[in-house]
Structure formats: structure tokens, C-alpha cells
Chain A
């Protein structure tokens, strides 16, 4: 069901023990199957906000409902079955001595039977292309593979919502794309996906909804088209639209927002430049 609200924040405010108010009166609904990116400067409240989704943090005032239930009185262990959290740095969450043990840890803690765990772990190893490394020590893996393993661990609990905190940081383009194709696959299978990132082209190419955080509030919330069309406002919030978006805008495109390179070619060829001379010559 597309419009079932899974996460509902109502007047959510969070003040840390040191007195810093990181979230101010946030109202936000994330529905089943959405693909939402949270962007904004460090300290704007992104991580504080998503940590409310699995109960790692509880509201100081206001409420957060996940699957219709207040997180206030829920244990993280219960919520973590429904909301999988993949940390920015995979090394913060890996601790076992082999890949398969790492993936099986969550199900084991949930009391799953050994046989069932084996089947589960095998499924995931296959799905994420980690089968050959099942006996490898997690820290002997490359950063990209450790990222995949972190995703595998989140998958092992069968959550319905995935939260990725800066999944591509420190990766080269290839590594980043490989993680993002994994995220896209989860979304395509109907999972609800939340990502935090500083990479605007990535947001423009992958996410379906963008929420811009600024000083503990949501300053902009809409489709990538809606958000990236407001490049002046984004600049005030210290964010940059993707280069292609700026390119099209500077070439005078007003009624549309270009988000990626294929869209750019289409517009250039159809409207701005016309077909290349050589092609025209060929037809004459």
C-alpha cells in the first residue's frame, strides 16, 4: 500500500542533555515505499532526526509514531526489527570474526533457530554477492565490501524501513554507485528507504523525495525537481544544486529542472541545440 504512513513525526523537538536543541517542531510523514533523502549542513539535525525513527533517540517533546506506535515507550531492540540502520562508517557496527557470523548475529539475538539463521544468511550472502567471502574476517574486506556487509546485517532483520547514514562517504565513484544500486534495488522491491547524504548529484539521480534540513527544521520538502529548482534558496542554505541543473538554468531553461545527464542530453538535443550538424547533413 503506497500511502500507508510508516513514520509520523508530530511537533517533534529534541534537546540534547547539553542544552542544544537539535530539532525544532518537526512535522513529517514518511509513507510505505518512499525513497527520501535528507540533506543539509552538519549540525542541521539530519542524524538526530533519523535516530528517532528507530528509537535510538526519543523526543523531548512532541511525538514520533513508527507503524502507528509511539516510540517513546518502545525498546530499540523491538524497533530495530522494523527499522534497519546502516551507520556512516561500517566499522562502527562490525565486530564478528567472519562475514557469515556478522550477518547471523542480529537474527540470533532475535532468537531465531539455528537452521533458519543458516538459510537466511545464505540468502543474503547470495543476494549481496558476498558468498565467496563468507568465512573472511570483516576487517580483511575492502571498504566497499564492508559497506555491503553492513547493508547485509541490516537486511538480516527483515526490516521494512532502511535508514542509510551517508552510505557513499569515502568511496570512489564506482564504489558509491555500487552501494546506490543496492539501495535502489531495495526501493524497487517496495522497501521504504531513507538516506542522509551531502552528495547532491546522487540525490538528484536516485531519491524520489528530498527534505532539506536547516537549523533543526525542515526548510524544503518535495520532489528532487521541486527542491533543486530553487537553486537560490539552496545556496542560502549552503547547498549546491547538481552541476547539470545549474548548467541548464544558466542556458536559460526556466520551465523545467534538469536532474541528471540523460535528461540534459534530451533537452539539449530536442530544444536547445537541435540535432548535430553531421546528423542533419546525413539526412539532406
Chain B
């Protein structure tokens, strides 16, 4: 099957910057995958997100080489409005992307710009708000909502345009535990129930372990690993180099392995760790 996302040898440098923000990045994503992008601050994660809908290099001037294709559209030859129908980007600090007087107009804004008929927009907005658990919030001011609600409005905004791929840049970093859980649940359901392809940037490794089917690690503007969460969280050296702290249960298991305990597979969730250590205890 043709991949829904295709990065080949993508490099980008911001103007007046001697170092590239991302360097020769190549990977493909199949439809329906849930990919997490992790790595330290400054590794180039947000820049990579901006490549998906052509914001890099269209909105951010700079030098780009290589190619990005989303749903068969090369981002170099297609304008952002075309790309926006295939990929929705929820930027970091989502509240900065909200600007309308009420939630209805906010969520409908993208569809209006796609030139959809009025009834269709209404229908899409209702469905999107329903999906993120904000039905009935149409008349509320986005600015007066809680951080978690604002984040879900931002997701609804891109969902209403019905793209195949959703790119979310640290959607839970500013949220409290309840808000984070609710947002992550929405993202998981987008993937599970609607079959959307998810590309998520996060520093919350417990979420990565729980939800992602695949993890891409970025360090110093290069792609340094691409594999299952199990594979990534099993590599002590890689984690250290990329300054990633895995879920605590992985850290415990990695340490036990180093101390000489027979740990063949590193557990990545609490449930798996409990089962594995119980076995070790009885064995």
C-alpha cells in the first residue's frame, strides 16, 4: 500500500542559521498508524511538524531540500489550503491558534475556507464537537474555556476539515492530569474509531508507551531511531544520548537488567511490569 506520509531526505535550515533544524530525515507512515515523535528540546520536532502541511518552507522562509508527500501530494507543489484537506496541524500552545468569538465559528472557520456549503459546515462542526466531548459549547468563547477544553477545540477545528492525518505538537504539555487524559483519550479514539493517522509530539513517555504503535526519536536534528515503543524504551544508551527519560517501569527494568537479573523484554506499562516482576519473584 502507498504510504500516507513520505519524508525523503528532508533537511531544513531557518534563515540566518548556520545549523540545520532538521537534517536528512526519511521515513514513511502507513494509513492508520499512531506515531509518537520524541526527543529533547531543540531537536527539531516542531520544525518536522511544520513540514507536514507545507508551512515549512512556505510560511517559514529558509532552505529546504528533500521532499515531503502527504496523501500523494508533494508539499512543494501544493498550496497549504490543498494540503490542509489531508493533514490537520494542531500547534504547540493551541490557545494561540484560537481567535474567534465563539466555538461554533472557531471550529467552522477551516471548513468555511474550504468553501463547504453552510449545512455541511454545521454538520461537520456538530460532529467534531461531539467527538471531542464539547457538544453544547457552540456559543462559548474559546478564550474562556479551560486549557484542556481549548486543546480539544483546537483538535475539533482540524477534525472538522476531515483530514486523513492529524499532527499534534505537545497537545498536553500545559494541561493538568485530567485535561491531559481527556485530550489523549480523544486522540486515541481519532485513531481507533475514525482510522485517522496520528503523528504526536510529546514529552509524556507514559502516554507514548500506552498509545503509540511506533516511536520516532529525533536528536540534534537527525532521526536516530524508529521502532516500536518496546524497542525504543529498551535502549538505555539511546535514551541517555537523546536525553529521554522512559516511563519509570522501563527505567526500573533496564536497571535490573544491568544488575544481572534475567530481564529479556523491557516492560513498558505498569501492568506488564507487575506481571513480569511477579514472575521473576516466583521463578
Asked if B176 and A243 make an inter-chain contact with CB atoms under 8 angstroms apart, the answer reads: no
- The residue in chain A whose Cβ has the minimal distance to the Cβ of B92 is A170
**B262 contacts partner chain A, Cβ-Cβ < 8 Å:** yes
> CA of A250 to CA of B252 in the docked complex: distance in angstroms?
15
**B227 contacts partner chain A, Cβ-Cβ < 8 Å:** no
**B116 contacts partner chain A, Cβ-Cβ < 8 Å:** no
**B15 contacts partner chain A, Cβ-Cβ < 8 Å:** no
**B237 contacts partner chain A, Cβ-Cβ < 8 Å:** no
Asked if A198 and B177 make an inter-chain contact with CB atoms under 8 angstroms apart, the answer reads: yes
Asked if A279 and B174 make an inter-chain contact with CB atoms under 8 angstroms apart, the answer reads: no
**A93 contacts partner chain B, Cβ-Cβ < 8 Å:** no
**B173 contacts partner chain A, Cβ-Cβ < 8 Å:** yes
A-B pairs with beta carbons under 8 A, tally: 100
> CA of A42 to CA of B149 in the docked complex: distance in angstroms?
12
User: Interface size for chain A: under 10, 10 to 19, 20 to 34, or 35 or more residues?
Assistant: 35 or more
Asked if A251 and B274 make an inter-chain contact with CB atoms under 8 angstroms apart, the answer reads: yes
**B95 contacts partner chain A, Cβ-Cβ < 8 Å:** no
Q: Which of B206-230 contact A (CB under 8 A)?
A: 206
Asked if B177 and A41 make an inter-chain contact with CB atoms under 8 angstroms apart, the answer reads: yes
Asked if A198 and B243 make an inter-chain contact with CB atoms under 8 angstroms apart, the answer reads: no
A43-B146, A173-B203, A277-B262 as given contacts; A265 in contact with B274, CB under 8 Å: no
> CA of A246 to CA of B269 in the docked complex: distance in angstroms?
11
Task: Output the least CB separation between B184 and chain A (Å).
Answer: 13
**A172 contacts partner chain B, Cβ-Cβ < 8 Å:** yes
Asked if A243 and B173 make an inter-chain contact with CB atoms under 8 angstroms apart, the answer reads: no
> CA of A240 to CA of B173 in the docked complex: distance in angstroms?
16
> CA of A40 to CA of B177 in the docked complex: distance in angstroms?
9
Asked if B174 and A173 make an inter-chain contact with CB atoms under 8 angstroms apart, the answer reads: no
Asked if B248 and A243 make an inter-chain contact with CB atoms under 8 angstroms apart, the answer reads: yes
Task: Output the least CB separation between B19 and chain A (Å).
Answer: 14
> CA of A243 to CA of B270 in the docked complex: distance in angstroms?
7
A41-B177, A273-B277 as given contacts; A261 in contact with B260, CB under 8 Å: no
Task: Output the least CB separation between A264 and chain B (Å).
Answer: 5
- The residue in chain B whose Cβ has the minimal distance to the Cβ of A272 is B281
Asked if B41 and A175 make an inter-chain contact with CB atoms under 8 angstroms apart, the answer reads: yes
Q: Which of B39-56 contact A (CB under 8 A)?
A: 39-42
Known pairs A172-B243, A273-B280; list 18 more (Cβ under 8 Å): A144-B41, A169-B174, A170-B173, A172-B203, A172-B244, A175-B41, A239-B177, A242-B248, A250-B274, A251-B274, A251-B277, A251-B278, A261-B248, A268-B256, A268-B277, A272-B277, A273-B256, A273-B261
| Subset of 13 A-B contacts with CB under 8 Å | A42-B147, A170-B170, A172-B243, A174-B40, A175-B40, A198-B177, A238-B178, A244-B249, A247-B248, A261-B252, A268-B256, A276-B259, A277-B261
9 nearest A-B residue pairs (beta carbon): A276-B260, A243-B248, A278-B260, A173-B245, A174-B243, A42-B176, A250-B274, A276-B261, A172-B41
